[in-house]
Amino acid sequence: INSQKFHIVIDQSNNVKIDGVKVYADADSPNTDGIHIGKSHSVNITNSRIGTGDDCISIGPGSTHVSIQGIQCGPGHGISIGSLGRSEDEQGVENVLVSNVDFTSTDNGVRIKTWGKYSKSFVRNIVFQHIKMKMVKNPIIINQHYCLDKPCPKKESGVEISNVRYEDIQGTSNTEVAVMLDCSREKPCTDIVMRNVNLVLQRINGSAQASCNNANGLANDVVVPFTPCLKRDMLLI
């Protein structure tokens, strides 16, 4: 598939299975999301190769019980939950599994993005696991100040982000900040857990870093780069 805009859209649907699709669009082609999910329940996407100029897979408001497994993503903007919180009464996203994904030369790896404005929306019960990153600009990112419309609203996001797990994520970052948790002052991210995460800088000189704002949770086993807002779980050391 090589579309001028979104390639596959799953909207207001239940019990959807997608397996073995190949999607390709040029890296500089705007708004060419590979698969977009919105207001849908019980969606399974497996064993697919996606390269686009936007998100390989995007999960929009009102999506629940989504499983994404066995994906090769790149080029593109990674796999994104959001954007969320653009309107006050927007539905949230919950119960999402992203597993066994390879990202190559993407702008982002696994991303959660919300608008900086008041909203009753939420993101909760999310698992990112068994993921490989190769030359990815932002391997792990939560951005609660997402904005495309200038001027941007100078407000904090009202979207509540909680219970997000990052497990067995390995690879290389193209930028020094390999982990960015930029959460809302009004609704800080809670119950963020990282376990067995090892992200190193692609170039020889320098080292990968983490940036944290208004986030808290636990770090289990090896977590590289050191993520200061996450406490060590002493029971698992």
Q: Catalytic site residues?
A: 77
The DSSP code for 184 is -
User: How big is the chain by its Cα radius of gyration, in Å?
Assistant: 17
Contact 85, 123 (CB under 8 A): no
Classify the C-alpha dihedral 15-19-25-28 as positive or negative: positive
Site of tokens 């993101």: 123
CB 191 within 8 A of CB 164: yes
CA atoms within 13 A on the CB side of 167: 11
| Residues whose CB falls within 8 Å of the CB of residue 145, separated by 6 or more in sequence, listed in order | 116, 152, 157, 182
